[in-house]
Amino acid sequence: MGMQTLSPIKTIHQAPVSPIARVCPVVRCVLRPDSFHSTNGVGSTRTDWQTSCAILSSKVLSQSHQHHPFNYSGGDVAAASVNGHKTSLDLNLLPINKETEITDDQAADKAKIIKPLSITDFSPAPMHGSNLRVAYQGVPGAYSEGAAGKAYPNCDAIPCDQFEVAFQAVELWIADRAVLPVENSLGGSIHRNYDLLLRHRLHIVGEVQFPVRHCLLALPGVRKEYITRVISHPQALAQCEQTLTKLGLKAAREAVDDTAGAAEYIATNNLRDTAAVASARAAELYGLEILEEGIEDDSSNLTRFVMLAREPIIPRTDRPFKTSIVFAQDKGTSVLFKVLSAFAFRNINLTKIESRPHRNTPIRLVDDANIGTAKHFEYMFYVDFEASLADVRAQNALAEVQEFTSFLRVLGSYPMDMTPWSPSTDNSP
């Protein structure tokens, strides 16, 4: 069997992403390629990629056979590593003629011609470490960048101009992870990212809760009484509205895409009549002064971010886990009650339930005899519950949920963020 068709191998190594600097390129939104027909990138399809890895794994050969006295029926030695751990075994794509002995000198000469692929070339990206590339929405100085740094210390942060671009960056192997906000303690859910979780096939592999500490920023020398406009992300403006009013600011509020982007806009255009609501790190990056610090209306302002990856993690039971699912309820009476009861009867705590319009069937007729009058809206329900998929209770609960749903998908089962936090804790970026 020939091994010339392993196209995924040629593109597995991406160009390294430079660490974030003062001026950092932002990944822009482009037309999304058809991954099922594209001949470029990491495999033509996911199936091709899995097939290639399976073929390579089947060709694991030992150059130190004498150190492994046990053999399987095929005579091959078992691989000495799994999922990224170091191994002394190499993947050799050429068949070995067992009747011909190869001397050490011949082996050395052969190694100079072509280096066998190592199992580490195909191992998943590490969960933590300086080599991890993490996509976030915004520009340097955004709260999302701070959350990415908390989730993956010393990572290479990749700014993206839109939430969907961060999803695409992971899918196209530009990034290893994405860290995106899903809810805020004051502003509520970020619906856009819930819709994107359903549209894309990434998996939630963790969560991080990040305290938000807003500051009022302006160019050096600008006084508050000269400000006629305050710009920031809509949620940031809403979270500071009462404080801005108490400061006597009669300036107009103007929404922009993100908080750090507002600071960058003021610095780039030298706007001396405009202030931004952003982080202290944004002031440092873009040369602005902090006019007021801690201007959020509630000191317990907290944003929950989820960490996304191409592959799920293995659920465990030795630490607190959370599982996120999305489902569409089936036809019938009290269906939602029956679904939620599957968790209540097993003492599984629900931490969140969110409804979003069902885009495929937004409206359903209740009574066919009265067309045009008996209708109601169809929704997708997002639920977070405190249990691991390795827990038998969660498995039985989901089995029961399937009986009352027309669609069910597990978005991820991942460790809960148990970091202690109080309003006085300052973790701002």
Distance of CA 145 to the CA centre of its chain: 13
Q: Sign (positive/negative) of CA torsion 235, 238, 243, 247?
A: positive
**Residue 46: which of 174, 202, 163 has the closest Cα?**
202
Find where tokens 């100079």 sit: 112
- The residue from 163, 167, 210, 305 that is catalytic is 305
**CB of 216 within 8 A of CB of 243?**
no
- What tokens were used for 144? 């999302």
Q: Measured between alpha carbons, how far is 414 from 316 in angstroms, rounded to an integer?
A: 8
Count other C-beta atoms under 10 Å from residue 20's C-beta: 21
- Going by C-alpha positions, the residue among 348, 338, 326 that lies closest to residue 400 is 338
Q: 303 an active-site residue? A: yes
For this structure, is 305 an active site residue? yes
Residues 6+ apart with CB under 8 A from 421: 209, 211, 302, 427
* Greatest Cα pair distance in the chain: 89
- In the chain, how many H helices and how many E strands? 12, 20
Active-site residues, by number, are: 303, 305
